[in-house]
Amino acid sequence: MTREEIEKMVSSYIEQSRSGLSVENSKFDFKREWYDLKLEEGIQEFIKDTTSMVNTYGPDGLIVIGFDDKSKEFVDSTLPIDPSNIVNLVNKRVDRLFEINTYDIVYQGYSLSVIHIPPSMDKPHVIRNYKTFHKDGKEKNSYQNVTLVRKNSRTDFSTRYDLDLMLWDNKNVEPEYRIISSCDVEFLNFRQDGDERPKCRIYLTLENIGRRPVGISKISITFKLFEDSSPDEEMVFQIDSTGKNIIIPVGNIWNHDVEMILLSSLYKPTTKILVDKFEKGKKHLISTPLLFTLSTGKTFESELIRI
């Protein structure tokens, strides 16, 4: 979901709630105030809510903070810590990291926070040490390696059926970023403006079949002769489009003849040997998946089909 789509959905849910409808479900929740992330009790509640939501079958999950669904009151709310610290909280307590996005938005003059949890293809996400607390803040129970899910607006321990559903859902989740890549490659080993580094010319075709448009700032590819090649037996080429990102809307195809240059830090005497061997028999050269760096800094890979 884009930020615009999230804001529209949040507005719609708030309007429904204020009109008297019950809107909380397994993938949407209201909270009056932010979790107290300075206390273990608050951290555990945050981990419980986010992990149970990402483990639950269905589309993107949203937790809206700053609106009381019962009293219909607003409480101004903004993100209390750096977003990177939220990722660290999850990483320390859950076996596999999942994506969490946070937004501060304004609805009719009120400041609200939104926790956005996209679908995961890596479920189940297991809490290593899950704790519950009494109302006075004292620890009540402690559980090891717990998998939680949401059932309507209630959180519960997963059953065998829930686990089977997670594994089935993993195969059907459309990733946020996914590109099908194909290329035709040739090497250009020439001197240009005093630069002796080899260049790789690629006729590249990229098809965006993910859920979001992409703005690509860098594309990297590694060539090697053997699967277990040492760093001296690999060549990493890169195209840097910083300042002029490659934009590919969802469902669109981008194809261009591009030139990639060997990273200067990886230029070694053995590079010429690799290029020579490539020119004598292209089928012997192994290429890794393309590595894309988005304008946001996020990276992801795409298997490459050699034409």
Cβ neighbours around 185 below 10 Å, total: 20
Classify domain 179-306 at the CATH topology level: Immunoglobulin-like (2.60.40)
**Which residue in 22, 84, 90 sits closest to 52, CA to CA?**
90
Residue 57 amino acid letter: Y
Question: Above 50 in pLDDT, residue 192?
Answer: no
Output the six-digit token pair for 94.
């859950």
CATH for 3-170 (3.20.20.300, 1.20.120.1200, 3.30.950.30, 2.60.40.10):
3.30.950.30
Q: How far apart are CA 258 and CA 244, in angstroms?
A: 14
pLDDT recorded at residue 41:
93
| DSSP per-residue letters across 76-140 | -----S-HHHHHHHHHHHBSS----EEEEEEETTEEEEEEEE---SSPPP-EEEEEEE-TTS-EE
Whole-angstrom Cα distance, residue 20 to residue 261?
61
Type of residue numbered 147: T
Range in 90-94, 217-221, 286-290 with the lowest mean pLDDT: 286-290
Q: Could you report the per-residue pLDDT of 14-60, keeping only the tens digit for each?
A: 999 998 887 778 899 999 999 999 899 999 999 999 999 999 988 88
Cα–Cα dist 259/268, whole Å? 20
Give the tens place of pLDDT for each residue, 215-274: 888 888 887 767 777 766 777 888 865 567 888 888 889 888 888 887 755 555 555 666
Domain coordinates of the chain in residue numbers? 3-170, 179-306
Q: Are 189 and 255 in contact (CB under 8 A)?
A: no
